[in-house]
Amino acid sequence: LGVYLDGLTGKVPEHPMAYAELERRAERSMPPELWSYVAGGAGDERTQNANVTAFDRWGLMPRVLAGAAERDLSTELFGHRLPTPLMLAPVGVIGLCDLAEGRGDLVTARVAAATGVPMIASTLSQDPMEEVARELGDTPGWFQLYPPNDRELTESLVRRAEAAGYSAIVVTLDTLTLGWRPRDLSIAGFPQLKGQCLANYFSDPVFRSRLAAPPEEDPEAATGHWAMIFGNQRLTWDDLAWLRSLTSLPLLLKGICSPEDARRAVDSGVDGVYCSNHGGRQANGGLPALDCLPEVVDAAGEVPVVFDSGVRSGPDVIKALALGARAVAIGRPAAYGLAVGGRAGLEHVVRCLLAELDLTLAIDGYASTAALTRGDLRPVR
């Protein structure tokens, strides 16, 4: 109500209230190569767009007089009770989206601390994971691992994440090589190849031991070495036992869309399945991630499923939860919030999404996000 009352006194919010406006302002604010990198996806971006429109095919059944004056948005994951089911997905260039100072990883961690919305810190960050973790306070942080083609380095990254206090490891498996992204291919300046977002590598003792000269002295050679070891297309299910053995922290696999893979992941001892198609950035011509979610949830059984790809609003979060996700993450909306308004802009995006989620539950008569079920949705014809 406060937001509406502000309008009566002529006070207009500084940051965009609608997603379309957020996107427009982000495009105007960001340098073109950063905009292309963040907004772009694979091929003609059909899968990326379908991720978003997939939500239109489901509608929440409104209920009245349902006693939803108080809402419980909390969710439980790996022994943590989180105040809301929202998470900040790992975004490799989030550092650069802080246009003022290029400290977006730290700013994102501060917003996570202020809102209680957990951050999943990317391997590809501007600041080392230890510094990001320090900003998180009591809010849980997870570390997202791109397993490099160097086992010792992989182990070192996981050990550092444990020592820094991250409470889960998310291994991303849909990016063992880069996607075909025409927007990036048409414009010079792919961030990582300019040595940006490689702080976790450049600060790593194993990575440094592989170089003839330290990255500070020869950043080009260090970046070249990174490009050689970044992806590991030869990784198979046979490597999962090794990945599992690296940590006693909860382990999640990100990029799971097939129920067979979800089942195999669970059988291999993972603690969580992260259903995502990387926001449509990796492969075009696939299925919208939301369409994969119900089968992945069924296959995962008791193992919790985290979801992202295409979430733009409070109702989107509700639909993903009703289809069985335990938590729901956002990628681009967070990057745009940061680009448009720095820390305040990102916090605005997070708080608006949560307010819309809460308000929708209130209006439609649902007192708890955890109690949402598939039966609360109907297909939109």
Beta strand ranges found along 135-289 (DSSP E): 141-145, 169-172, 251-254, 272-275
Which amino acid type is present at position 201? Y
Residues 141, 117: Cα–Cα separation, whole Å: 9
Nearer to ligand FNR, 119 or 322 (CB): 119
At closest approach, how far in Å is the CB of 283 from ligand FNR? Answer: 13
Residue 120 bridge partners (DSSP) = 142
Contact letters (x/-) for ligand FNR, 75-94, by CB under 6 A? --------------xxxxx-
341 binds ligand FNR, rule: CB under 6 A: no
Using the rule CB under 6 A, which residue among 181, 254, 319, 326 binds ligand FNR? 254
Residues 95, 103: Cα–Cα separation, whole Å: 5
Query: Looking only at residues 49 through 68 of this chain, which bind ligand FNR when binding is defined by CB under 6 A?
Result: 51
Helix 332-364 × helix 32-39 angle, to 10°: 50
Tokens 């989107």 belong to residue: 316
Which amino acid type is present at position 220? E
Nearer to ligand FNR, 136 or 252 (CB): 252
Residues 86, 326: Cα–Cα separation, whole Å: 9
CA distances 173 to 145, 148, 252, 275, Å, are 9, 11, 10, 11
Query: Looking only at residues 144 through 183 of this chain, which bind ligand FNR when binding is defined by CB under 6 A?
Result: 144, 172
Residues 115, 322: Cα–Cα separation, whole Å: 23
Nearer to ligand FNR, 50 or 73 (CB): 50
Q: Which two tokens stand for residue 46?
A: 């059909």
243 binds ligand FNR, rule: CB under 6 A: no
Q: Return the active site residues.
A: 278
Residues 83, 112: Cα–Cα separation, whole Å: 12
Nearer to ligand FNR, 39 or 322 (CB): 39
Residue 119 bridge partners (DSSP) = 88, 141
Residue 211 contacts residue 225 (beta carbons within 8 Å)? yes
# of chain residues touching ligand FNR (CB under 6 A): 25
225 binds ligand FNR, rule: CB under 6 A: no
330 binds ligand FNR, rule: CB under 6 A: yes
Nearest to ligand FNR by Cβ — which residue?
331
Q: Which two tokens stand for residue 10?
A: 């002529």
Residue 369 contacts residue 361 (beta carbons within 8 Å)? yes
At closest approach, how far in Å is the CB of 276 from ligand FNR? Answer: 4
Contact letters (x/-) for ligand FNR, 177-216, by CB under 6 A? ----------------------------------------
361 binds ligand FNR, rule: CB under 6 A: no
Which amino acid type is present at position 342? G
115 binds ligand FNR, rule: CB under 6 A: no
122 binds ligand FNR, rule: CB under 6 A: yes
Other residues' Cβ atoms within 10 Å of the Cβ of residue 196:
20
At closest approach, how far in Å is the CB of 59 from ligand FNR? Answer: 20
Nearer to ligand FNR, 22 or 335 (CB): 335
310 binds ligand FNR, rule: CB under 6 A: yes
Please identify, among the stretches 203-211, 293-301, 318-326, 330-338, the one whose residues bind ligand FNR according to the rule CB under 6 A: 330-338
331 binds ligand FNR, rule: CB under 6 A: yes
3-state secondary structure (DSSP) of residue 274: strand
Residue 307 bridge partners (DSSP) = 275, 328
Nearer to ligand FNR, 68 or 311 (CB): 311
26 binds ligand FNR, rule: CB under 6 A: no
Q: Which two tokens stand for residue 268?
A: 């291999």
Using the rule CB under 6 A, which residue among 181, 225, 278, 343 binds ligand FNR? 278
At closest approach, how far in Å is the CB of 93 from ligand FNR? Answer: 5
Q: Residue 82 belongs to what H/E stretch?
A: strand 80-82
Residues lying near ligand FNR in the complex (CB under 6 A) are found at: 37-38, 51, 89-93, 122, 124, 144, 172, 254, 276, 278-279, 281, 308-311, 330-332, 335
